[in-house]
Amino acid sequence: MINEEAILNPPFVNKNTPLQKVNDTFITERGINLYMKREDLNHPELSGNKWHKLKYNLLEAKKAGHTTLLTFGGAYSNHIYATASAGKLFGLKTIGIIRGEEHLPLNPTLSFATECGMEIHYVDRKTYRNKTDEKFIDELHKKFGSFYLIPEGGTNHLAVKGAGEIINSVKVKFDRIFCACGTGGTIAGLIAGLNGKARATGVSVLKGGGFLADSVKELLNSTGNAERDNWEILLDYHFGGYAKINKELVEFVKRFVEINDTPIEPIYTGKMLFAIYDLIKRDEIKENETVIALHTGGLQGLAGMESKMKETLA
Ligand SMILES: Cc1ncc(COP(=O)(O)O)c(C=O)c1O
C-alpha cells in the first residue's frame, strides 16, 4: 500500500511559506499592496513551483509501481535539479535526458543531480526535439527499461493539479497573481485554482512565447477546467529570450534584492517582477490593488548566471 500522505505532505516540505509584503516606496507610495508568495522557501532543493508540479507525479509513479523517473531538460534546468532531488527524497531512481553535449567539469546543476543519483544522458539538440514523440520514447524504453515519464519542465495534467493548490495557500484576498512562464504549467494551475476569482498573469520568459496561451488552454481543457477569461500571458518581458539578460534587468534585480533582502534570479522571478513594476509605471496596476507575485524558486540557477550578470554590469 502506498502511503499517500507521506508523498503529498512530507515533513520536509514547508506548506506555510511566508507571504512577504514588498516594502518598496515605489510600490507603497502608489497605494498598491504587493506581496511575494515565497514558494522558493518550501524546500531547499525541491523548491518553488517544482514541488507543486512534481508531487502528484511522484504519487502516480509510486501507485503504478514505478521505481524510476525519466525526464528532460537543459544543462542548467531547475526541473532537472528538482527531479533529481525528488528521486533522492522519495527513493526513486532518476534518469535525466540532457539537451546538448557533455561539458566537464559538470556545472553546479548537473553535479548536484548526479550527487543525488541521477543518471545523465546527453542527446544532441536535434534528437532532443523529439522529446514528446512516441517513437523516441519507445527507444528510451528499450534503452532504459521501465520508467515513469515526466515531460520537460514537469508540465502535465498532474502538474496543473499540484500548482493549483498554491492558490489556497495564499491567505490574503487579492486582485491579481503573477508568475513566470516557461511551459505554462504553473500558470495553468493558478488559473484552475482561482476558479474564476481574481486575475492570473503569466510572464513569458521565452522569446517565442506565443504558443503559451494555447498550451495553457489545452492544459485547462485536459484537466476539466472551465474556459475562463481572467488570465493572460505577457510576451514583452523576455529580454531577448530564455536566460537572456541586459543591464536594465540586472540592475532591477540587484535593487530588488537589496531593498527586500529577498533572493531572486533574473531568468524567471526577476523578469516577472520587472513586468509587475512596468505595469505599475503604466498605471495598469492601480491604487488599492492587491497583487501576489509568486516566487517560483530557481535560485540554484544563479550559480550559472553570476559571471554573465557581472559582465552585463561592466
Ligand atoms: C524558477 C521557475 N519559475 C517559473 C517556471 C515556469 O514554470 P512553467 O514551466 O510551469 O511555466 C520555471 C520552469 O519552467 C522555473 O524553473
Please identify, by atom number, the ligand 1 atom nearest to the C-alpha of residue 183: 9
Ligand 1 residue neighbourhood (C-beta within 6 Å): 48-49, 78, 153, 155, 180-186, 268, 296-298
- Integer Cα distance of 188 and 156 in angstroms: 10
Q: Name which residue sits closest to atom 1 of ligand 1, judged by CA.
A: 298
Is the pLDDT assigned to residue 306 strictly greater than 90? no
Q: What is the 3-state secondary structure (H, E, C) of the chain?
A: CCCHHHHHCCCCCCCCCCEEECCCHHHHCCCCEEEEEEHHHCCCCCCCHHHHHHHHHHHHHHHCCCCEEEEEECCCCHHHHHHHHHHHHHCCEEEEEEECCCCCCCCHHHHHHHHCCCEEEEECHHHHCCCCCHHHHHHHHHHHCCCEEECHHHCCHHHHHHHHHHHHCCCCCCCEEEEEECCCHHHHHHHHHHCCCCEEEEEECCCCHHHHHHHHHHHHHHCCCCCCCCEEEECCCCCCCCCCCCHHHHHHHHHHHHHHCCCCCCCCHHHHHHHHHHHHHCCCCCCCCEEEEEECCCHHHHHHCHHHHHHHHC
Q: How far is the CA of 162 from the centre of ligand 1 (A)?
A: 14
Average pLDDT along the chain = 97
Confidence of residue 181 (pLDDT cuts 50, 70, 90): very high
Question: For residue 184, which atom of ligand 1 is closest to its CA?
Answer: 11
**Distance from the alpha carbon of residue 100 to the mean position of ligand 1, in angstroms:** 20
Q: Give me the pLDDT at residue 196, please.
A: 94
Question: Of 78, 156, 215, 272, which is best to mutate to test ligand 1, by the most ligand atoms within 8 angstroms of its C-beta?
Answer: 78
Ligand 1 atom closest to Cα of residue 181: 11
pTM over 0.95: yes
Chain segment 125-150, per-residue pLDDT in tens: 999 999 999 999 999 999 999 999 99
Q: Which CATH number fits domain 49-154: 3.30.300.20, 3.40.50.720, 3.40.50.1100, 3.40.50.2300?
A: 3.40.50.1100
Confidence of residue 190 (pLDDT cuts 50, 70, 90): very high
- CA 105 to centroid of ligand 1, rounded, Å: 26
Chain region(s) in the chain for CATH 3.40.50.1100: 4-44+157-313, 49-154
* Per-residue pLDDT tens over the stretch 250-303: 999 999 999 999 999 999 999 999 999 999 999 999 999 999 999 999 999 998
| CA 29 to ligand 1 center in whole angstroms | 31
For ligand 1, the distance from its centroid to the CA atom of residue 139, given in whole angstroms, is 28
pLDDT of 43 above 90: yes
Residue 217 has pLDDT above 90, yes or no: yes
Distance 216 CA to ligand 1 centre (A): 13
Q: What number does the ligand 1 atom closest to the CA of 48 have?
A: 1
Q: Is the pLDDT of residue 28 over 90?
A: yes
- Interval 47-104: pLDDT, tens: 999 999 999 999 999 999 999 999 999 999 999 999 999 999 999 999 999 999 999 9
Whole-number Å distance, alpha carbon 184 to ligand 1 midpoint, is: 8
Average pLDDT over residues 158-163: 98
CATH number for the segment(s) 4-44+157-313:
3.40.50.1100
